Structure 1
Amino acid sequence: MTQEEINIDHLRELDKKYFLHPTTSIKQHQANGPSVIFTEGKGIYLKDVKGDTYIDGLSSLWNVNIGHGREEIVDVISEQMKKLAYSSTFQNFSHEPVIQLSEKIASLTPGDLNVSFYTSGGSESNETAFKLVRHYWKLKGKEKRTKIIALERGYHGITMGATSATGITPFQNMATANAPDFFHAKPFQLNCELGDKVDANYPRSIRGIIEKEGSETVAAVILEPVQGAGGINIPPDGYLQAVRKLCDEYGILMIADEVICGFGRTGKMFGVDNWNVVPDVMSVAKGITSAYIQLGAVIITERLRDELAEISTDVLFHGFTYSGHPSACAAALKNIEIIETENLVANAKNMEDELLKGFQYLEEKHSIVTKTRAKGLMGAFELFVDRDSGTPFDPSALAAPKVIQECFKRKLIARPVVFEGSNIITIAPPLIANKQEIEKIIVILSDSITAFEKQI
């Protein structure tokens, strides 16, 4: 065994002994150690300790929008840390980067979503959104408005409230108790949200839940413009507009979870821009810094801020130590500059066409591939034993996980979604990906599906 191999084995043992991995099988980790240990990133690629290079087909966690290894971001963070690494924004304290970033975000967001509150990530952003809307209704003397309606298969994070809003059962089952007053509607019931009470799904629709619970008890509706972790689920045209109109009808606040969709992922700066919808509250994170440093935000309308200012009589007793972290804000400003100057939002839209062409090729070549879809640079397809009859694979076949394993062998990182018996393969490379790289991803996907087909 070479010294390099000894060092790698030592790292693996240290990992097993001292690191509890998030969203990972603890039993599998203790048996096998880490599946890979990365050391470098460049563009859409990652390199591990063995020197092997992988395509980061999921932008790590849907968040490295500008790609890996951008020294411009590193330089900006370094310069900011030399000048002012950290300063609290509590008690009306402020600093230049947070002011500049807030102004920049206001120039990008739709409507009058111009006021930003900062967090360290997506879960904190959604948790903050829930607290703010409930606080708002309490100050208005409508204390009963506490209920939050989310969608099944929606993902909103892993803090207590965010987990409770998440409509993916395994995340909720991990906890011994969930926060109260969270409800989950069946997604994308356009006719129901428009008022079709004859539809069998009406009781499970957002409108049906509002009518059952009483609109006077509902604080907000939260949804992702495109569901990410739930399987890249794209709403039908008119759906977001219908939800916006429904919220207006009942005086309910609309929260858009843009944690994955925001900052160019869907081929628009924000996911809601695809449907010209302006929510009352918007949660962001991930792409705001392309993960070069932790940052999230909750963006509210000026109207909402002005109302809070008018009716508040006390301090807003909510905030995080790192709210408006100056180094993170500086990184976000540079990240947004790169997104704009390199036209990465337009590139994501152009690459959507290439991704869909590739998925069409997979459908033509592989009879088990169906339900292909993409919005910008987030796409997915599903695996069925018989796509014509809609016969799914038996869960024991582990169809999607096995295809993902084959992808990993071929140095492509992608993600399976297997909740509720589904077998979905998701792809979301960095927004810098070009036509040749998309084609390379499709070739690997095809080879991996072929390898799986030989096993069944």
Structure 2
Amino acid sequence: MLKEVKVGKELMELDKKHFLHPTSSISQQQENGPRFIFTEGKGIYLTDISGKKVIDGMSSLWNVNIGHGREEIAQVAQEQMTKLAFTSCFATFSNEPAIRLAAKLASIAPGDLNAVFFTSGGSESNDTAFKLARHYWILKGQPNRQKIISRSKSYHGVAMGATSATGLKPFRDFTNSISPDFYYVEGSSVEALREEIEKEGPETIAAFISEPVQGAGGVNIAPKGYFEEVRKICNEYGILMIADEVITGFGRTGKFFGMEHYGVSPDMMCFAKGVTSGYAQLGGVILSDKIHKDFIEHSRDTLLHGYTYSGHATACSVALKNIEIIERENLVENSRLMGEEMLKGFKFLQDKHQIVGEVRALGLIGGIEIVKNNKTGERFENQISPKLVAEAAKRGLIVRSVTFDQDTLVFAPPLNINKDEINLMIDILDETISAVEQEVLSAF
């Protein structure tokens, strides 16, 4: 035990000195060090260096869909690394795992999505979609179609194009110069999209991008009929429709892909995260047959876009095994069923606690809004959800807070979670909310 404490202190100091954490408070890191130093994961649980075991209620970053500690994945990665860890896919070089994964993705993707461009993650996938959309219109003789429209409260990543497309303004304010030709419309209004298209001119717009369910924006589920109308509008004005399925893909919403809930097939679909459940870095864009055929017909020069690890052999092998596990264990259906249980638990908390406002879930992605009074909808002046996140962590549950224009707890547990584990998660939340609710309400 003394050895673990010594190692923990050493790692804490090395972390503060040398590790600049993504999407973290630099001052808090320097003051307190890392909140957790994880050493092991199994199923829905993570264990830190002190031996504390916690439920991973976020699948880490919405992505560990099959759960932690899958030996099958490690074995496949080892076999592929021993045989061929990596080789470039530039200049039409290829490898079997990349080819077979592209074919597998085409077989499970909605509509006529059929040709895959591989990346290393979600931000690269969305950046790729923007570049391919703009290049597509150049090939089609309409180079003025360069504008990208996205929704308010959307999140599309932190690469330059992805940051520029993100509707959450604080991410754009982080840098003092975003890319041009990105526009934003009110998140649930079809009319706002049509008005923006008319205002800017349809002949100047390359694509519209949206998450099927907005993740980092607060788990916002689109109103009924929204995406069906968006598809019609894109068809009417000849605008490409891009689905950002980075979070929602591979069973997260109770279907393989989020857009399947709406019966809508996009022109391009971006994926990452759940394609490997976080066991390797991989993402990509799937193009419709029409877009792919147009590229084949009109493109005569080299496609001057690609990443070193596009079509990474080991990552693609991991993805193939990951998808096999999702299918074999019926995790998409489990996501649907356990999502219903999770939503029931949220509604129980809503009935019991004054500070629990609107609750929502689609499959195993959900949100709980925090308010001062759920009867009137009155909100706190200060954000309360970060307090709840900290208290839940103490009690053995990792969740995340969203404080952009709202005060919301968000959830995305692994898809192999069972009913008893859902109930345990709700019990911890119940205790957490009781503790914080008493404190914050007594202050008024």
Q: Give the partner amino acid of 2:237.
A: Y
Counterpart position of 2:300: 313
Q: How many residues align?
A: 440
SS in 2 for 1:211: helix
Q: Deviations over 1:214-271 (max 9, x none)?
A: 0000000000000001000000111011100100000000000000000000000000
C-alpha displacement of 1:368: 1.3
Counterpart position of 1:399: 384
Counterpart position of 2:92: 92
Paired residues of 2:243 and 2:269 also in contact (CA < 8 A): yes
C-alpha displacement of 1:32: 1.1
Distance 2:20 2:68 in 1: 25
Counterpart position of 2:436: 452
* Mapped pair 1:441 → 2:422: no
Q: Give the partner amino acid of 1:430.
A: P
Distance 2:33 2:359 in 1: 34
Q: Give the partner amino acid of 2:205.
A: V
Distance 2:76 2:6 in 1: 37
Q: Give the partner amino acid of 1:65.
A: N
Distance 1:218 1:402 in 2: 42
Distance 1:120 1:258 in 2: 15
C-alpha displacement of 1:411: 1.1
Counterpart position of 1:281: 268
Distance 1:93 1:231 in 2: 41
Counterpart position of 2:129: 129
Distance 2:33 2:342 in 1: 34
Counterpart position of 2:400: 415
Distance 2:160 2:212 in 1: 22
SS in 2 for 1:454: helix
- 1:231 equivalent among 211, 218, 222: 218
Distance 2:102 2:38 in 1: 34
* Mapped pair 1:11 → 2:16: no
SS in 2 for 1:353: helix
Distance 2:289 2:347 in 1: 44
C-alpha displacement of 1:388: 2.2
* Mapped pair 1:212 → 2:199: yes
Runs of 4+ deviating beyond 4 Å: none
Q: Give the partner amino acid of 1:29.
A: Q
C-alpha displacement of 1:165: 0.4
Distance 1:7 1:189 in 2: 53
- 1:351 equivalent among 335, 338, 342: 338
Normalising by structure 1, we get a TM-score of 0.96
Q: Give the partner amino acid of 2:37.
A: I
Distance 1:334 1:165 in 2: 32
Greater CA deviation, 378-387 or 408-417? 378-387
Q: Deviations over 1:312-340 (max 9, x none)?
A: 12100000000000000000000000000
Normalising by structure 2, we get a TM-score of 0.98
SS in 2 for 1:187: coil
Counterpart position of 1:152: 152
Counterpart position of 1:428: 412
* Mapped pair 1:25 → 2:28: no
Q: Which runs of 5+ in 1 are unaligned?
A: 193-204
Counterpart position of 2:352: 365
C-alpha displacement of 1:390: 1.8
Q: Give the partner amino acid of 1:150.
A: S
Distance 2:80 2:279 in 1: 14
Q: Deviations over 1:51-87 (max 9, x none)?
A: 0101000000000000000000010010001110001
Paired residues of 2:357 and 2:373 also in contact (CA < 8 A): no
Distance 1:126 1:390 in 2: 36
C-alpha displacement of 1:140: 1.1
* Mapped pair 1:302 → 2:299: no
Matching of residues 163-178 of structure 1 within 5 Å: 163-178=163-178
Q: Which runs of 5+ in 2 are unaligned?
A: none
